[in-house]
Structure 1
Amino acid sequence: MTVTTGISFILASISSVLIFSGMQMYRPWLSSSQLHTLLGGYLGSIFFVLSLTAVGNLENVVFGKSFQVKVFPEVLFCLLLALFTSATVHRVCATSCLLISLCALFYMNKYSQKVHTIPVPSVPVQTGKKKKNVS
C-alpha cells in the first residue's frame, strides 16, 4: 500500500520523534551494557533514515516532485542530527550509529538508483573502418 508524499512526511516525522523520545526515556538502559549501546546506535540509524525520509518528503511537497535530496545539506544535516541524538545516550552509540547509518545510506542510494533511473537505450557505435569489398 502506498501513501502520498504528505502522509509519508507525517508518518516519518512522528516515527522519528517516537524513536528520539524512546532513546531519551531508556537512556540508562541503553548505556547499561555493550549490546545495549549497539542497539542504541541501531536506533540512531533508524532515526537517521526516518528523518532523512521526512526531510526529503517535505522538500518534495514544497519544491515539487522533481526535487532530489542532496548530500549537502540534507543528508549531512540528518546524519549530524542522528549522531547528536545517539551521543546523548552514549559515545559508542554515536560511533555505531555512524557506521550503520553510512551502510543504510549506501543501500538506500543503491535501491533508489535501481528503482528510479530511466533505462537509456543503447545505440550501436560504428568504428571508423569500413569493410573492403573484395571482388
Structure 2
Amino acid sequence: MALSTNTSLLISAILAILLMASMQLGKASLASNELMTILGGFLGSILFVLSLTALGNFEKLFFGYGSQVKIPEVIICLVGSMFVSSLVHRVSATTCLIFSIIALYYINRVSQSVYTVQPVPVYKKKK
C-alpha cells in the first residue's frame, strides 16, 4: 500500500535523520576495516534515496503534483549524502557515489515504468 505524500515526506525525513545520526555514532566501527567502509558507503546511498524521496515529496506537497525532481535536486542530495559518508571515511564517500548512481538508475527505471504516458492514437478521417 502506497503512502500519502505527507506521510512519505515525514517518514523519509525522519529515517534520513536517524540514519545520519547512526552513521555518526557508529563512525569508529564503520571505519574499522574495508568491508565496514563499504557498508558505510551503502548506508550513504540509502541516505541519498531517503533524502531524494523527502525532497521530491516536499516539492510535490508545496509546488503541486506537476513538479518533478530534476538534476539540481539530485546533485544536492548526492553531495549531501557523500558529505555525511565522508565524515565516516573517504572510501565510504566513494562507494556512496557508486551505490547512489546504481540506486538512481533503478529509481529512474521504476519511475519510467509507473509514470509513462501512453500515446493516444490519432485516427484520420477517410475521404
Offset of residue 2 of structure 1: 1.8
Aligned partners of 1:26, 1:110: CA distance in 2, in Å? 33
Normalising by structure 1, what TM-score?
Answer: 0.88
Query: Across the two proteins, how many residue pairs are aligned to each other?
Result: 123
Aligned partners of 1:81, 1:122: CA distance in 2, in Å? 44
Offset of residue 43 of structure 1: 0.1
Tell me whether 1:105 sits opposite 2:121 in the alignment.
no
Offset of residue 110 of structure 1: 1.1
Q: In the TM superposition, what are the counterparts of 1:69-88 in structure 2 within 5 Å?
A: 69-72=69-72, 74-88=73-87
Tell me whether 1:12 sits opposite 2:12 in the alignment.
yes
Q: Which has the higher helix share?
A: 2
Correspondence for 1:26: 26
Correspondence for 2:60: 60
Correspondence for 1:41: 41
Q: Which runs of 5+ in 2 are unaligned?
A: none
Structure 1 residue matching 2:88: 3-state secondary structure: coil
Structure 2 residue matching 1:88: 3-state secondary structure: helix
Cα deviation 1:41-75 (Å, max 9, x = unaligned): 00000000000000000000000011000011x10
Q: Which runs of 5+ in 1 are unaligned?
A: 125-135
Normalising by structure 2, what TM-score?
Answer: 0.93
Identity of aligned residues (%): 46
Offset of residue 123 of structure 1: 5.9
Correspondence for 1:114: 113
Aligned partners of 2:28, 2:62: CA distance in 1, in Å? 39
